[in-house]
Amino acid sequence: MLTHATQSGSEPARLIRGWGHATGSHALVARPTGSAQWQERLAEAGPRGLIARGGGCSYGDAAQNAGGTVALTTGGDDLTRLVVADATVVADAGMTLGALIRALAPLRWTLPVVPGASGVTVGGAIAADVHGKNHVHTGTFGAHVREMTVLTPGHGEVLMSPTVNPGAFWATVGGLGLTGVIRQARLELVPLDSWLFRCTDTIATDLDAMLTGLTDASQASAYAVGWIDAVRTGAHIGAGVISHAGPLMPRRTPPHDGGRLPAPRVSVPMLPGAGIGTVGITAVANRLRLATARVRPHRILPLPEVLYPMDTLPGWPGLHGRLGLVQYQFVVPFGAEDVLRAALIHTRKSGFSATLAALKVFGAAGEAPLSFPLPGWSLALDFPARPRLARVLDALDERVAAAGGRVYLVKDSRLRPDLVSAMYPQLPRWRAERAALDPKGVMTSDLNRRLHLSEDAETGHA
Amino acid sequence: MRDGLGRAQTVLVLGGTSEIGAAVADALVPAGGTIILAGRDPAMLDTAAARLRPGRHVETVAYEATGTAAATVDVLTAAAAQAGDLDVVVLCVGALTGEPSIGADSTAAEHALQTNMLGPMLAVHATAQRLRRQGHGTLVVFSSVSAVRARPRLLTYGVAKSALDAYARHIGVSLRGSGARVLVVRPGHVRTRMTAGLAEPPFTTTVQAVAATVARALRRGSAVTYAPAMLRPVVAGLRLLPATIFNRVTELKAAPRRGGAPSAETITEPRNR
Ligand SMILES: Cc1cc2nc3c(=O)[nH]c(=O)nc-3n(C[C@H](O)[C@H](O)[C@H](O)COP(=O)(O)OP(=O)(O)OC[C@H]3O[C@@H](n4cnc5c(N)ncnc54)[C@H](O)[C@@H]3O)c2cc1C
Ligand SMILES: NC(=O)c1ccc[n+]([C@@H]2O[C@H](COP(=O)([O-])OP(=O)(O)OC[C@H]3O[C@@H](n4cnc5c(N)ncnc54)[C@H](OP(=O)(O)O)[C@@H]3O)[C@@H](O)[C@H]2O)c1
């Protein structure tokens, strides 16, 4: 029998999908506001548990919970409070980073770490310990969280920081929502030197040039990312464009109102079949991208366009057709460059070429046991979610793990579960902390069930 | 959980010694996944488990289709206790009992109805409840083309499958919006031990082909599929025939299988279900 009153009631379950549209499952959607409602939700969660969901920008099933409850943190009236003091800001977990950055800009402050989508929330950024295009300088998002309040099933609201409840703090940073619901956080800020950025594109003709060029650019500039033309083969494997950006100094920027989000340039419908996910179409698109870099290597762009270039192309998953898209993002230590090469060669040989391939350099790893970045190369590859892709990526998982690397869990939708503990050797430490915060396993998600992250996911609920 | 590429992690086969069931599980579950075979004969379950491709966890559970409804619920609970969520449940219990072999024996009729109708229907009921609570998962029900229109020589089997087929489809509709679904599969003649020695009608197929059809239908989210797919228009056509002609067409002699002449016993069995 169902124990959760609303589960058998009139409220129908809704299909909740990942950003990539390749995953999806039915769950009850709750929109609690205020601590009392959140506590009630957690206490009443049925046998299928509850997961918090922020902006829904995770590509796969991290913020899905089949048959259970998905609780939205973006519920509304919690979002008004914003306190800036002492070079920190206190923000509610449901606030998007895009909104936060806009609100901070007139005060000439900004966030040290920003991922590539403006819709990511503070809670989602902490729960995935996200990184930006400046990881070598700043580390991850979690490194700049001064303290946070987390509603846990085991102990109610708990204040956590690197010094107060540090074990719980680092288990929640990168903890994929499985330790509790982050309610509020105090985040460190950095001065906003300029709203406008000078952006430069440099062409790299092969992988070696890409790697050395990106290393230099990452050291020299505030932000750097490599875009790889994944269609290229042979000697030109790894060729592409290195984009780097730095503030337009000194503060010669025109007065601003906190800026607008980049206006979508094109809005796209869902395409049939695999959409643009064919080698031919990707080849044409990539040639255009290269030509643009050649013709206009220098540009002045407002901060949002530097931070979230994908926001100018909403509906990117829809371009991959009905099947949706999976992103394969992995990191391998310096010295394992052969794995980058293998990933490009093997996917290409199997008839796939990533519609988007982004390379980043990572610096030192953070403290959170499930944090993704480690010193080395991060490659993110987008593919239409064709079943045939499974074999190629399964084989790559093995090479990534053998090289001491790992796959990014918050973006995953198909990783081999048997390799998770090799990729995340601190998993036992995280499990112990999680078990203390959520002894009954209330917090759970499709990702957790699929990859058996918390031990009790193996057995499920009767 | 099924992953973003549509792969199932855990498949339960009710009727675990079924050749079709094993082939479907084999096709659906990747390395590292779990296959649970449920059946009544432990030794035969072990043999079936050993025939699966390596690399998956294989478990067995005791299941008797003529048992009580409560016992059927327990089988699902036991399977889930071993493997967690059930992504796909394949129901392939069945016994091909020709009308001539039932004859005047009421107990034989009862047994045929229990095996092909009552037992499987209780399994559909119990599985639907579990998948609904789970919020995901697909129940694959093995019906038959003979469910579409029963023939005199296979009356009990055809009518039983027909009831199972209708029940499963309606349960499928009632699951809409829950995340759980039902796929009804209507195979024609498939080469398995069930049909061994029988003459092979046109469109005879293999277990591997049936498994591929099921995998495709699962990806598409279909409610009903024929195996092979060509049978859909054929069956649609046959349905429209007047009874006298239909009976004559479907009882036509087909080519004896692989050279071996059918035994006197199997000749009394119909050839095209
Ligand atoms: C176009 C694009 C570009 C991206 N670029 C980057 C990048 O450069 N670097 C990077 O690191 N990531 C990147 N990402 C991934 C993204 O940053 C992460 O998936 C992030 O977690 C999404 O946050 P969200 O608020 O949308 O969370 P959701 O997708 O809703 O949830 C993600 C996870 O966070 C948990 N969560 C959310 N809110 C809370 C809360 N209040 N308390 C507890 N747990 C919570 C969820 O349970 C889930 O496990 C990108 C994504 C997109 C779509
Ligand atoms: N083969 C075909 O041409 C064909 C055509 C149309 C439809 N179908 C259907 O497809 C399904 C699978 O058939 P198949 O060809 O794979 O045949 P099969 O190998 O004979 O499988 C039938 C299965 O049902 C099981 N079973 C029978 N009675 C049972 C009971 N009382 N309790 C528990 N299990 C019982 C059998 O178990 P035991 O091993 O213990 O007997 C066996 O696992 C059946 O539903 C069949 O009706 C088959």
Assigned domain for B1 exists = no
> How many Cβ atoms sit within 10 Å of the Cβ of residue A281?
17
Of B29, B128, B175, B1, residue with least CA distance to A65:
B1
The pLDDT of residue B1 is above 70: yes
* Closest residue to B4, CB basis, from A15, A27, A414: A414
CATH for A82-192 (3.40.50.170, 3.30.465.10, 3.10.20.590, 3.30.930.10): 3.30.465.10
**Max Cα distance, chain B (Å):** 53
Do strands A88-92 and A181-188 pair parallel, antiparallel, or not at all (unpaired)?
A: antiparallel
Assigned domain for B218 exists = yes
Q: Which residues of A touch B136 (CB under 8 A)?
A: 25-26, 66-67
The pLDDT of residue B263 is above 90: no
Beta carbons of A387 and B7 less than 8 Å apart: yes
Cβ-proximal residues to A408 (8 Å cutoff; 6+ apart), any chain: A329, A330, A331, A372, A378, A380
Give the residue on B whose Cα is nearest the Cα of A391. Answer: B30
Assigned domain for B45 exists = yes
Domain ranges for chain A, please list them: 82-192, 196-263+271-413
Test the B interface: residue of A3, A15, A17, A25 with most B CBs within 10 Å: A25
Q: At what angle do helices B69-83 and B119-134 cross, to 10 degrees?
A: 40
Give the residue on A whose Cα is nearest the Cα of B10. Answer: A450
Q: Which CATH class is domain A196-263+271-413?
A: alpha beta
Contacts within 8 Å (CB) and 24+ apart, A428-434 = A429/A369, A430/A171, A430/A175, A430/A369, A430/A370, A431/A455, A433/A167, A433/A168, A433/A170, A433/A171, A433/A179, A433/A369, A434/A171, A434/A175, A434/A178, A434/A179
Classify residue B240 by burial, with Cβ atoms within 10 Å: 0-12, 13-18, 19+: exposed
At A333 the pLDDT is: 98
CA distances from A340 to A258, A399, A402 (A): 39, 10, 13
pLDDT tens digits along B182-215: 999 999 999 999 898 888 988 999 999 999 999 9
Assigned domain for B85 exists = yes
What separation in Å is there between the alpha carbon of B192 and the centre of ligand 2?
9
B35, B93, B146: residue to mutate for ligand 2 pocket, most atoms within 8 A of CB: B93
Give the atom of ligand 2 at the shortest distance from the alpha carbon of B114: 31
Beta carbons of A326 and B219 less than 8 Å apart: no
A58, A135, A136: residue to mutate for ligand 1 pocket, most atoms within 8 A of CB: A58
Beta carbons of A13 and B77 less than 8 Å apart: no
User: How far apart, in whole angstroms, are the C-alpha atoms of residue A49 and residue A442?
Assistant: 5
At A264 the pLDDT is: 52
pLDDT tens digits along A213-255: 999 999 999 999 999 999 998 999 999 999 999 998 755 554 4
What separation in Å is there between the alpha carbon of A147 and the centre of ligand 2?
61
User: How far apart, in whole angstroms, are the C-alpha atoms of residue A303 and residue A244?
Assistant: 13
User: How far apart, in whole angstroms, are the C-alpha atoms of residue B252 and residue B201?
Assistant: 9
Name the CA dihedral angle for A461, B2, B7, B9, rounded to a multiple of 10 degrees. Answer: -10
Q: Which residues of A touch B174 (CB under 8 A)?
A: none
Assigned domain for B162 exists = yes
pLDDT tens digits along B129-188: 999 999 999 999 999 999 998 888 899 999 999 999 999 999 999 999 999 999 999 999
Our CA-based measurement puts residue A233 at a distance from the nearest CA of chain B, in whole angstroms, of 26
Catalytic residue among B63, B157, B167, B226: B157
Q: Is B18 in the pocket of ligand 2 (CB under 6 A)?
A: yes
User: How far apart, in whole angstroms, are the C-alpha atoms of residue A152 and residue A158?
Assistant: 7
- Which residue has its alpha carbon closest to ligand 1 atom 1? A117
Overall domain count for chain B:
1
* Closest residue to A66, CB basis, from B7, B179, B219: B179
Give the atom of ligand 1 at the shortest distance from the alpha carbon of A119: 26
Assigned domain for B160 exists = yes
Classify residue A15 by burial, with Cβ atoms within 10 Å: 0-12, 13-18, 19+: exposed
CATH of the domain at B150: 3.40.50.720
Q: Which residues of B touch A445 (CB under 8 A)?
A: none
At B268 the pLDDT is: 36
User: How far apart, in whole angstroms, are the C-alpha atoms of residue A73 and residue A123?
Assistant: 8
User: How far apart, in whole angstroms, are the C-alpha atoms of residue A179 and residue A430?
Assistant: 10
CA distances from A82 to A88, A104, A105, A120 (A): 10, 9, 13, 17
Give the atom of ligand 1 at the shortest distance from the alpha carbon of A116: 5
Assigned domain for B72 exists = yes
Cβ-proximal residues to B76 (8 Å cutoff; 6+ apart), any chain: B12, B86, B89, B126, B127, B130
Query: What tokens appear for A125 in the block?
Result: 């950024």
The pLDDT of residue B273 is above 70: no
Place of tokens 């591997």: B208
Rounded average pLDDT per 10-residue block, chain A, 462 residues: 39 90 96 94 96 97 98 72 84 94 91 96 98 98 98 98 98 98 96 93 97 97 96 94 89 53 58 78 90 92 90 82 93 98 96 94 98 98 94 97 98 95 97 97 97 67 30
* Closest residue to B136, CB basis, from A66, A394, A462: A66
Assigned domain for B2 exists = no
Our CA-based measurement puts residue B241 at a distance from the nearest CA of chain A, in whole angstroms, of 38
A277 touches chain B (CB under 8 A): no
The answer to whether the beta carbons of residues A403 and A411 sit under 8 Å apart is: no
A130, A136, A407: residue to mutate for ligand 1 pocket, most atoms within 8 A of CB: A130
Instruction: Tell me the pLDDT of chain B averaged across its residues.
Output: 90
Give the residue on B whose Cα is nearest the Cα of A65. Answer: B135
pLDDT tens digits along B250-260: 775 554 544 43
pTM: predicted TM-score of the whole model, two decimal places: 0.92
Beta carbons of A67 and B30 less than 8 Å apart: no
Q: Which residues of B touch A462 (CB under 8 A)?
A: 77, 80-81
Domain with B252, as residue range(s), is: 10-272
What separation in Å is there between the alpha carbon of B95 and the centre of ligand 2?
5
What separation in Å is there between the alpha carbon of A356 and the centre of ligand 1?
19
> B271 pLDDT band (50/70/90 cuts)?
very low
Cβ-proximal residues to B107 (8 Å cutoff; 6+ apart), any chain: none
Helix (H) or strand (E) holding B142: strand B137-142
* Closest residue to A390, CB basis, from B30, B77, B136: B30
Our CA-based measurement puts residue B25 at a distance from the nearest CA of chain A, in whole angstroms, of 16
